[in-house]
Amino acid sequence: MKKKLSIVMMALLTISLLLTGCGSKAAEHNSGAASQSAPAETAKEMTVKMLNVGQGDAILIETPEQTVLIDTSDLDEQEKLRAELKKAGIKRIDKLILTHPHADHIGGVEGVVLKDYEVGEVYDNGMPSKSKIYTRYMKLLKQKNIKRHGLTAGDELDFGGGVKFKVFAPEKSVVEKGSKTTEGHDPNNESVVGQLIFGDFTMMFTGDAEKAEEEPMVHAYGNNLKSKILKAGHHGSKTSSSAAFLKAVSPEAVLISCGAGNDYGHPHAQTMKRYQMMKLKIFETDKNGTITVKTDGKDYSIVPETGDAQ
Ligand SMILES: [Zn+2]
């Protein structure tokens, strides 16, 4: 009888332990879910960093869900890119966008980006190029089994967390014509141009697009190009940022990526004058270091590493 009683007691104790166990687990689960959903709603922020990578372009976008890199600067600026990406503390690059196959934009693909990071997908203008650096990049994508997509006007990419990238150039006809031959290209004017959209915040990315690529965009899209911030086309060259394009985009600020004392004289004085006449806030990586844009989709701030806006 005593033995039977103790068995019953043990069974009751086990049941009660199991029940409290379940109960506390459920409570933990609930509180876990609550603490996961609460900050996600308040911490929806996007950061755009124009990295200080000398004479070239490399722009890091961190949305609430994805890490995106637009261009990778030049071959001889790879150490700067490596250091900047390390400083940013990123673990993986979900999307890599290469605006055009010039060395100062795809220079860090092989030696830094594909070497140091896991890359989800790669996007470019989908046109072939004969350059050695491009051929190596294509080979490496195949080896690593990374998907590559061509972007043309009208495409839209989802960067997660409500962030979109709307492509305005190159036109499909430009890519079709250019894909038939590797001769007679003007890669600058085949640059992927697109607008980053997060709520009310907009930023126009231009690669090295010049007037020849800006003009048809102004004709086709007019004021739909309007953006709060402009990434200066072609490092502030006088052949880019034409008056009509600037008028259509009507930015409040312009960010220029260029190396200190570069051989090209970027940014050109005439371009700077055009920006100044529009009373834009001007930031340059050679003077301001890495330029960080932060936005919650409503307001935005531009924080230079050093100095102030011009
Ligand atoms: Zn360039």
pLDDT 10s digits, 80-99: 999 999 999 999 999 999 99
Longest CA–CA separation in the chain, Å: 102
Q: How far away, in angstroms, is 188 Cα from ligand 1 center?
A: 8
Q: If you measure from the C-alpha of residue 207 to the centroid of ligand 1, how many angstroms do you get, rounded to a whole number?
A: 7
Measured in Å, residue 12 CA sits from the centre of ligand 1 at 75
Please tell me the total number of residues recorded for the chain in this structure. Answer: 310
Average pLDDT over residues 181-192: 87
Nearest residue to 104 via CA among 75, 133, 79, 67: 75
Half-sphere exposure of 91 (CA within 13 A, CB side): 2
Q: What are 237's two structure tokens?
A: 């060259």
C-alpha of 289 from chain center:
18
Q: Which two tokens stand for residue 141?
A: 């994508």
CA 22 – ligand 1 centroid, Å: 60
Q: Ligand 1 centroid to 102 CA: how many Å?
A: 7
What is each CA distance from 295 to 48, 193, 207, 302, in whole angstroms? 9, 21, 22, 9
Report whether 175 contacts 224 (CB < 8 A).
no
Q: Report how far ligand 1's centroid is from the alpha carbon of 74 (Å).
A: 9
pLDDT score at 25: 38
* Cα-to-centroid distance, 206 and ligand 1 (Å): 10
Q: What 3-state class would DSSP assign to 249?
A: helix
Name residue, tokens 């600026």: 77
For residue range 205-253, what is the model confidence (pLDDT) as tens digits? Answer: 999 999 999 999 999 999 999 999 999 999 999 999 999 999 999 999 9
Return phi, psi of residue 192, to 5°.
-70, 120
User: CA-CA distance, 48 to 220, in Å (whole number)?
Assistant: 27
- Ligand 1 mean position to 136 CA, how many Å? 19
Residue 183's pLDDT band, with cuts at 50, 70 and 90, is confident
The span from the CA of 220 to the CA of 174, in Å, is 14
How far apart are the CA of 187 and the centre of ligand 1, in A? 10
Cα(199) to centroid(ligand 1), Å: 29
**Cα of 213 from ligand 1 centre, angstroms:** 14
State the distance from the centre of ligand 1 to the C-alpha of 53, rounded, in angstroms.
12
The sign one gets for the Cα dihedral 244, 237, 302, 121 is positive
Mean pLDDT of all residues in 133-145: 93
Query: What does the mean pLDDT of the chain come to?
Result: 89
Please determine, for residue 7, whether its predicted confidence score (pLDDT) is greater than 70.
no
Look at residue 42 in the predicted model and tell me its pLDDT: 54
Burial grade of 300 (CB within 10 A; 0-12, 13-18, 19 or more): buried
Residues in CB range of 239: below 8 A, 6 or more apart: 210, 211
Least Cα distance to 253 among 190, 203, 195, 216 occurs for 203
Distance (Å, rounded) from C-alpha 218 to C-alpha 220? Answer: 6
Q: How far is CA 152 from the centre of its chain?
A: 17
CA 242 – CA 283 distance, rounded (Å): 18
Q: Which of 79-83, 110-114, 181-185, 281-285 has the lowest mean pLDDT?
A: 181-185
Question: 172 alpha carbon to ligand 1 midpoint, in Å?
Answer: 22
> Which has the closest alpha carbon to 162: 40, 301, 32, 49?
40
- For residue 204, the surrounding DSSP H or E stretch is strand 201-205
* Cα(258) to centroid(ligand 1), Å: 9
Distance 263 CA to ligand 1 centre (A): 13
Distance from Cα 105 to the centre of ligand 1, integer Å: 6
- How many A from CA of 77 to the centre of ligand 1? 13
Half-sphere exposure of 32 (CA within 13 A, CB side): 6
Amino acid occupying residue 219: H
C-alpha 26 – ligand 1 centre gap (Å) = 56
The span from the CA of 7 to the CA of 257, in Å, is 78
